[in-house]
Structure 1
Amino acid sequence: MRTNISSGAPWENQVGYCRAVRIGNTIEVSGTAPVRDGKTVGDNVYEQTQVCLQIIKEAIEKAGGKIEDVVRTRIYVTDISQWVMVGKAHGEVFGDIKPATSMVEVKALIDPDMMVEIEATAIID
């Protein structure tokens, strides 16, 4: 059975996606940018990473999971030289969980104010 978890963002219908999808015991969370109420938030990459991870946590919980169920994250940054601050925020959430992860630099994200976007996969045990 498939359950779609919407963020309520107007562009979900425009683009044809949702924040997360749960099928069985697996939850896939879409690329999550630091956006609240339609606006990019966070003055630096550390704060933006914290926002992304909080939104991911909320989506996983809406889907019936918990952050400890995350087995994989994928981190996209616009400036790889900032990896330490991104890693710091990621480690604050996942330091004990230790999911598989990757961090790659991308040319740009959809909004020039965005510095980071994160995807996650959770498997409910």
Structure 2
Amino acid sequence: MDFKRINYSSGAPLEDKAGYSRIVKVGPFVYVGGTTSVQPDGTVFGEGDPYAQTKYVLEKLLKLMAEAGSKASEVVRVKVYATDMSHCGEIVRAYSEFFKEIRPLCTVVGTSGLNRPTQLVEIELDAIIGAAI
């Protein structure tokens, strides 16, 4: 099969500066790069609140995925990076609001830090268009 590649941007200035895409779609496969709770004005949403940051990031990602023709029910893998593993309960609480019934693969990894000290969570998603349950 010959799949066409389409790159999508979230509009974040760093994407052009560093040379990366927020989403890459290849045929029915949708790959969403690591995304944090940085708002369009450059501030971090939900400072100090892992639940609020997780929810904000997932809402942001699903909106971007819709632009690529995908939806939450087609997500097959989620990778979460947390700066403090004691936040897992709050991260999972927000995550389950989106994926409890869909049940994609999920990995939560502890990391010593993200781009900004106020960022607590970074999330990646993989989806396959047409794989909805």
Q: TM-score range by the shorter chain?
A: over 0.9
Q: CA deviation at 1:55?
A: 1.1
Could you tell me how far apart the structure 1 residues matched to 2:103 and 2:37 are? Answer: 22
1:20 aligned partner: 23
Q: Which amino acid aligns with 1:80?
A: M
- Identify the structure with the greater strand proportion: 1
- Structure 2 residue runs without a partner (length 5+): none
Q: Secondary structure at the match of 2:81?
A: strand
Please list the CA deviations of residues 67-114 of structure 1 after superposition, one character each: whole Å capped at 9, or x if unmatched: 111000000000001100000000000010010010011000001110
How big is the alpha-carbon RMSD for the aligned residues of Structure 1 and Structure 2?
A: 0.7
Q: 1:120 aligns with which of 111, 125, 131?
A: 125
2:57 aligned partner: 52
Q: Which amino acid aligns with 1:69?
A: E
Q: Secondary structure at the match of 1:58?
A: helix
**TM-score, normalization by structure 2:** 0.92
Could you tell me how far apart the structure 1 residues matched to 2:109 and 2:71 are? Answer: 25
Could you tell me how far apart the structure 2 residues matched to 1:5 and 1:58 are? Answer: 12
Q: Which amino acid aligns with 1:87?
A: V
Q: 1:67 aligns with which of 69, 72, 81?
A: 72
Q: 1:35 aligns with which of 35, 38, 46?
A: 38
Q: Does 1:102 align with 2:127?
A: no
Could you tell me how far apart the structure 1 residues matched to 2:38 and 2:103 are? Answer: 25
**TM-score, normalization by structure 1:** 0.97
Q: CA deviation at 1:35?
A: 1.3
Q: Secondary structure at the match of 2:7?
A: strand
Bigger-Rg structure (1/2): 2
Q: CA deviation at 1:65?
A: 0.8
2:13 aligned partner: 10
Q: CA deviation at 1:16?
A: 1.1
